[in-house]
Every structure is written in C-alpha cells, then in structure tokens.
A and B are shown apart, each in its own frame.
Chain A
Amino acid sequence: MTSPTSEGTGGFAALAQGDRVAAQLYTDPEIFDWEMERIFYSTWVWVAHESEIPEAGSFKMSHIGLQPVIVNRDRKGNFNVLLNRCRHRGASVCEVPKGKANGFTCPYHSWSYSLEGNLRGIPYPDGYEGVTEKRDLPLQRLRVESYNGLIFASFKPDIEPLEEFLGDAKIWIDRFMKQGAGFPVKVQGEHKFRFEGNWKIQLENTTDGYHFPIVHRSWMASVDAETADMLSFMTDEKAVTHALGNGHSVAIMVPEHVDLEEDDGMEELQERFRHIIDELSEIMPQQQVRRIVRSMHGAGYNLNLFPNLSLSMSFFRVLRPISVNETEIQHMALGLEGGPESVNRERLRIHEHFQGPFGFGTSDDSEAWDRVQRGAVANPDMPILVNRGLGREVTVDEGWKTSHVTDETGMRESYAMWKRMMSDEN
C-alpha cells in the first residue's frame, strides 16, 4: 500500500471519540485495509506461545493481519518469525500447521530455506549465474521478542522494545502465568471458529463483563452453584476493569483470584474438584493442593492485549481478522507442563464446557457478535456507544483508569489506541 494522503485517512481517527465510535468501524472495507497497514503491520502482534514450539526445529503456522507467517525455534534456541512466501515466485513454503523440520523447501521449484530463513539451495543453479545471489533472497524475517512465554512479532524493524509496548500489562501477564502453580503453562489444544463480524467486536467482548449473565445464562444455569457464584461479579465492587495504556486493559471478574499465590486459607475449594483434591492430597502437601485447585479456573481476570491476544482466565483468546466482516478466533486451552495428568484433563473438560463451536458459552457469544455486525449496517451515522461507567471512572494510584468490570473502560482504552494508530500524525 502506498503512503496515505491526509484526505484519505485523516477522517478515520475522528471516527473514534472517547465515549463512542462510528459504526463504519465495523463495516467499511477501506477502514479495514488501513487497519491492517497501520495497526497489524505496525505494532507487536502475538504469534505463538513457546510451548507450541518446544524443541529445536519445532514450528507452527500463524498470521499477522492477513499475512501468513511461520514461527519456529532454531538450533540456537532463538525464535524466528518468517513470512510464509517463497522468494522465487511466491508459493507458500509451509502448509503444515505444526510440526518439526530442519528447514522449509518450496514445493514449486524446490528452493530450500533454513529455520533462520536463509536460502540454502536452488536446484539447477546454473541459470542463476551472474543473475542472483542466494544470500540476497532469504525468507523475509520479522522482528521477534518474547515475554514470559508469549512470542510477538512485528513487521516494523524499528519498533519500540516489546516490554515497553506491554508496559503495565506485564504485571498481569506475570500473575496470569501463576496458574501453572509451579509448573510452566502449556497450550493443551485449541478450538478454532469464525464469526461473521468485524475483529473489534471480539476485541471489545473480552473486556465486556456486562454481557456475561445475559449471553451466558444457559452456561450459568448448567454449572455447579460454586462456579456460578464465583462468576457473579455484577454487583461485586471489587470486580473492576483497569485501563493499562497502549490499548491494553484488564477486566477482573474474580477479585480473590487476581494473584493465585496469595491464599489466606479461607476460601473453600470447590466440591466439584473433590476427586482431584483427594488424589493430590496423597502425593503433595495441602498448600500445593490448594494452589493447584484454586488455579483450576485460571486467573481471575481477562487481560486484553491490543490488538490480537487476550489472556482469558484459563485460556488464550487469539483473534485473526479475515475481512471487514469475518474474524477467526482461536481458544487455546492451557495446562500444566509436567503437572498432574488428572488436573490437565479436568482443565480440558472445563474448557470444552464453555469454549469452542459447541461450547455452552462460545456459541452464544458468536451469535451475539453476528448480530452486532448485522445491526451495525443500519444507519451507519448512529454511533456505537462505549460510555458505560464514564461517570464512575476513577484513576487509581497506579495511574490506571478504573471502573466496574461491567463498564466499558477497557473498550475505551482499545479505541483510544486505535485512534492513535489510525491518525495521520502517527
């Protein structure tokens, strides 16, 4: 894409205004194209968790915006993120979602590349004598940095360090990983589905406590009383959302599980986990049993990282824009690497209950998001409101704007970042 003209895009930033955004943000294909350029190809985008590529040569396919990439771990233990596109005539060099390899060979004319992306071999090279040098044609490499197991990449070579971009979200990433209860957190499997709506509808949803008892009423009705009670945050004053800067926010739904290391011993372990409590009590001290069982539902919050990742209680939610009105979502179930098998299984069952295309929660979320996209085409001049809780928003000591978890503080934070990135001055 060529560089923007001021008339071409100057208007976009004005479409997001603090407490409201224009409905075109969900429906205008031109805005979508600029979002790819100015957001997805200009910032840090999450591409993998290190447990997905555990060994030298492990790789997975991923995406940044619309562009396919390969994420791998090389023999030196470094992470590489490579554009999945042959330097000859453009074929994808990998179509295996996940696996182990020594490198990647293009299926079309067999140019072969190392894990670092270097072009190692060209068949019948005589035709290239005096024309092309292998060293000039590596797979395009992106900037890569990781934080606490989360691997991010960026198309922008001179982007700020990842840790600066994450800022205060780092505290919440660190707390989130405590659900490993002493074991490293690993991805155990994933659900993938698409809905017919704009990516920002999903971005909003991860920080939307307001919809929970309504959209997820059927899930609430199906779980045990203790679990339903744990998530009854509607009138809990300690359940708040903090805006963390750079578009990130955290929505706290279970305040007593914000820091899973803190345990005053008062909380009763859920009876639904009795079989696990009994089993673990035979082999480990009570304190560790409590630590593992209290972490079973994950951390007590959703951490929304702009633009594509959420650390959502006990799983990762990854969004991938497909087009202005289609988005793919992955829900990655987390477990304890090397932890008790029964615990990991129980966590899988909890995930299946809510998440995935047939889950008791996801199917209703997905229906709600489809409905937003369908409705938003009616009078696009009518704004989408994100003003809930403005009147009770405060700034806490850490400098975070804070309001109740059912308020729209997190969405306002995302749209403030959207506005910043979409404006011409940027």
Chain B
Amino acid sequence: MKTDTAEEVVAIDNRPAPQRYEVGLGQLADPLVGRAIELIWREAQLLDDKDYEFWQTLYTEDAKYVIPVDPDTEDFESSLNMVYDDARMRHMRVTRLVQGYSMSAVAAARTSRTISRFTVEEITADTVTLRSAQVLVGFKRDKFQMLGADLTHRIRFNGDDARIELKLIRLVNSDSAVNASGFLL
C-alpha cells in the first residue's frame, strides 16, 4: 500500500457525492415485507430456543441455507463454504443437532440474537428479499462469544403461507478464524 500523494488526496476530495438510496418509499410498510420480517424474527427465536425441528419447516423444499467463507462470492457451488445446505443436508444437520450424539451440540452455548437494519432488496408478486444485520451473543462456560453477520433472506409467499427460500449468512469474520459451535446461525 502506498501513502497518499497530493494528487490522490485531491482525487479523494473530488469524488462525486455518494449516491443516495431511494429512502422514504415506504417499502417497509408493504404488507409482504411486514410478513417477511415477522417470519425472520420467528426464525431467530426458534434458533435461539434450539427448536430445530420446527425451524426447518420454515424452509421451502428447494431452499438453500449458506454460510460462505469468501465474502465476495456468489458462486457457492464452486467455492468452499462453512455451510451449504439443501433440504437433505439441512435435515441431516437438524437430526445431528437434536439426536444427542454430538458433544458440541449437547454442550452448545445459549444464544440471543438480534436482527435489525432491514432493507428491501427486491419485491416481486410472490417473493420479498430482505437484507439485515444480525448480532448474536452466545454464552458457554463463563465466556461470551459475539458473532456479527449480514443476512439476506428471500421469502416466498403462497397465499397465506410464507417460507424461506434462501438464507445467506455473511459473517463479518467469514474468511478469518470462526470458532466451532454447536448451534446454528
């Protein structure tokens, strides 16, 4: 990395004003968005309660649940991820978490997570895609653990029914050391 030269400093000063997001459009008031947020918060509660069997019913059959390592990749298929679950893997993961054979799941931290900073990425006739920030606090054997993440949820609506079709969890430390845990994000 190079120290800023005089020209570079001028270049920084001359940068165009940052583009403003279209605020004030009232997208959060869209009824589908409200329902999506409600589902996301419900999911968070089920995960904190470790009610994994009920939790997996919130997902569509073809849903993906991804925790990538590479902070920039969109190609999860040809990258190494921490989790890249389809229905089959998700089901096995839940079995593992509840069946009692996994010593890390049995001794998992208690967690409390907060999701906020919702922004609407996309609304279609039957889907809503939201981004949000998650702060998770875990506690196990006298120690606190904190995990920050940027979440993307795509929710699919079918009449009264709403289910998660994609959950993408980008941990702020995804390409650095992430400590093993017996719980789910």
Contact = CB atoms under 8 A, between A and B. Distances in A.
A193 B178 contact: yes
A193 B180 CA distance: 7
10 contacts: A105-B2, A190-B80, A192-B176, A192-B177, A195-B180, A348-B78, A348-B81, A360-B93, A360-B96, A368-B103
Contacts of A359: 82, 180
A352 B180 contact: no
Interface string A358-377: 11101111111000001000
B3 A345 contact: no
Given A110-B3, A345-B78, A194 B179 contact: yes
A97 interface: yes
A127 B45 CA distance: 63
Interface of A: 97, 105, 107, 110, 188-195, 215, 217-219, 221-222, 328, 333, 341, 344-345, 348-349, 351-353, 356-360, 362-368, 374
Q: Which of A215, A222, A333 has most chain B Cβ within 10 Å? A: A222
Q: Which of B99, B103, B178, B181 has most chain A Cβ within 10 Å? A: B103
A280 to B, nearest CB: 17
A188 B80 CA distance: 7
Contacts of A219: 96
Given A110-B2, A193-B178, A366-B179, A218 B102 contact: yes
Contact of A353 (B67, B69, B89): B89
Interface string B143-185: 0000000000000000000000000000000011111111010
Contacts of B179: 193-195, 357, 366
Closest 10 CB pairs of A and B: A189-B80, A366-B180, A218-B102, A367-B104, A363-B104, A218-B101, A363-B180, A217-B101, A222-B92, A357-B180
Nearest to A349: B84
Contacts, number: 104
B119 interface: no
A202 to B, nearest CB: 12
Contact of A357 (B82, B84, B93, B175): B82
Contacts of A217: 101-102
A364 B103 CA distance: 6
Contacts of A333: 80
B53 to A, nearest CB: 16
Contacts of A358: 67, 82-83, 180-181, 184
Contacts of A353: 89
Given A191-B69, A194-B177, A366-B104, A352 B80 contact: yes
Interface in B73-99: 77-84, 89, 92-93, 95-96, 99
B105 interface: yes
B111 to A, nearest CB: 14
A189 B21 CA distance: 35
B107 interface: yes
B1 interface: yes
Nearest to B107: A367
Nearest to B96: A218
B95 to A, nearest CB: 7
B98 to A, nearest CB: 10
Contacts of B180: 193, 195, 356-359, 362-363, 365-367
A352 B84 contact: yes
Contacts of B178: 191-193, 357
B70 to A, nearest CB: 8
Given A194-B177, A221-B101, A345-B77, 18 more contacts: A191-B80, A191-B82, A191-B178, A192-B176, A195-B179, A217-B101, A218-B99, A221-B95, A221-B96, A221-B99, A344-B78, A348-B81, A352-B82, A352-B83, A358-B181, A363-B102, A363-B182, A367-B103
A328 B177 contact: yes
Contacts of B184: 358
A75 B71 CA distance: 30
A222 B79 contact: no
A87 B103 CA distance: 48
B72 to A, nearest CB: 13
Contacts of B77: 345
B146 to A, nearest CB: 15
B93 to A, nearest CB: 8
A363 B181 contact: yes
Contacts of B2: 105, 110
B104 A222 contact: no
Nearest to A123: B3
Nearest to A367: B104
Contacts of B89: 353
A351 B78 CA distance: 12
B80 A193 contact: no
B74 to A, nearest CB: 15
Q: Which of A188, A192, A345, A363 has most chain B Cβ within 10 Å? A: A363
Interface string B1-44: 11100000000000000000000000000000000000000000
Nearest to A220: B101
Q: Which of B175, B177, B182 has most chain A Cβ within 10 Å? A: B177
B20 to A, nearest CB: 32
A107 B83 CA distance: 36
A312 to B, nearest CB: 15
Given A110-B3, A191-B69, A215 B176 contact: no
A110 B69 CA distance: 32
A348 B79 contact: yes
